[in-house]
Amino acid sequence: MTNQAKDCLFCRIAAGEITPQIVRETDRTIAFNDIEPQAPVHVLVIPREHHPSIGSLATADPELAGLLMAEAAAVAEELGLVDFRLVTNTGAQAGQSVFHVHLHVLGGRPMRWPPG
């Protein structure tokens, strides 16, 4: 797996070419506010390395997959979220629009399922 994929928005963020509102970062992950929030708190957590989906990440680097989950939990804790939703989409039909694995940390309001 390459460190970056050509024309990947999140790889450009990881490389520092685009600077979102960063919430938390480590040497292997970055968490930043979503530009189209779906809840009062909506943070994306990404690995710095390019992996297109959670499945490909889990296969290629299970340790990083676990670290990504731990970082999402740390973001929720830092933001004072006791109850939160953690979402990842895999594939266009599931709503994935950026094909660089990312976790959505959503909270700050009741998160009902199904939505609506």
The residues that are catalytic are 102
Cis peptide upstream of residue 52 (ω within 30 degrees of 0): no
Longest CA–CA span in the chain (Å) reads 40
Using CB atoms within 10 Å of the CB of residue 57, give its burial: 0 to 12 exposed, 13 to 18 middle, 19+ buried: buried
Alpha helices in the chain, H assignment, sequence order = 9-14, 54-60, 62-78
DSSP 92: G
